[in-house]
Amino acid sequence: MLCRHATCRKSPAVARGGRRFGAAEHRRAQVALRHRHYSQASRTLEDALKRFPGSAQLRLELGRVYVYQRQDARALEIFRVILRDDPSNREAKLELARVLSYDGKYEPAAQLFRELLATNPNDEAAAIGLVGNLLFQKKKDDARREVELALARHPNSLRLQEYRDDLLKNHSSLHAPVRKRLNQVQSDVSYSAIQPEPRFANRTAI
């Protein structure tokens, strides 16, 4: 599994906004995350938001840090606030769907993934999220259908190929070994290159 950590990319919104959106604080938070100093990262972003309360990007990054810290309720609150202010914010909707899915709220998560795909059928991260959501529910027939549809659009997606291979092997529990939260975070946030996905702990991984 390729590790494409969210902190390894520079946020376009922050880059465009420069100091107005707390670019320096954002960079410090990224450095802290690379060293797994999650409390430092969250404090940096919380302080930055006091100075730049209108920055949706800083809020989004703080929500992701809360996911690393297993503070899912706080992360959910942040993603929902972003969507309240901007219902079209794709990253916040994706993050919200992921947290809901990992927390077992499969139907609302699936609805969000499908909304993203309805807006952009080529959204690879949303397609991966939807397939993972179905696998969490052990809906293997639905997962097979969705993964084939997604692979038709994204034939080089390693994660989708992995899902398809596991489904073809008819594993009763996909990726059965429970992964640690950080490993799941790093692999899922990997879609950040597509756009981000932080994640989770001691749960049966998809």
For residue 30, what is the domain's CATH number? 1.25.40.10
Tell me, yes or no, whether 10 lies in a domain.
Answer: yes
Evaluate whether residue 105 is within a structural domain: yes
Please tell me the distance from the alpha carbon of residue 142 to that of residue 54, in angstroms, as a whole number: 40
Residues ≥6 apart with Cβ < 8 Å to 11:
26, 57, 61
Domain count, the chain: 1
pLDDT confidence bin for 171, thresholds 50/70/90: low
Q: Is 70 exceeded by the pLDDT of residue 8?
A: no
pLDDT at 152 over 90: yes
Per-residue pLDDT averaged across 174-186, rounded?
A: 39
Q: What is the mean pLDDT of residues 142-156?
A: 96
User: Is 198 domain-assigned?
Assistant: no
Residue 179 has pLDDT above 80, yes or no: no
- Position 54 scores a pLDDT of 81
Look at 182 and 64; give whichever has higher pLDDT: 64
Whether 175 has a pLDDT exceeding 80, the answer reads no
* Average pLDDT score over residue span 175-202: 40
Which range, of 19-28, 47-56, 115-124, 139-148, averages the lowest pLDDT? Answer: 19-28
Whether residue 7 is predicted with pLDDT greater than 50 in this model: the reply is no
| Domain range enclosing 35 | 6-193
More confident residue, 14 or 154: 154
Gap between the Cα atoms of 29 and 176, Å rounded = 33
Residue 24: inside a domain? yes
- Is residue 160's pLDDT more than 70? yes
82 part of a folded domain: yes
Q: Classify residue 162: in a domain, yes or no.
A: yes
What is the distance between the alpha carbons of residues 35 and 130, in angstroms, rounded to a whole number?
31
Rounded alpha-carbon distances, angstroms, from residue 101 to 126, 138, 177 = 12, 13, 18
What's residue 34's pLDDT? 79
Asked if the structure places residue 206 within a domain, the reply is: no
Residue with tokens 């320096």: 24
User: What's the whole-number mean pLDDT along residues 117-140?
Assistant: 96
* Percent of the residues in the chain that have a pLDDT greater than 70, as a whole number: 72
Residue 46 resides in a domain:
yes
Mean pLDDT of 4-27: 49
Range of weakest confidence among 88-97, 151-160, 163-172: 163-172
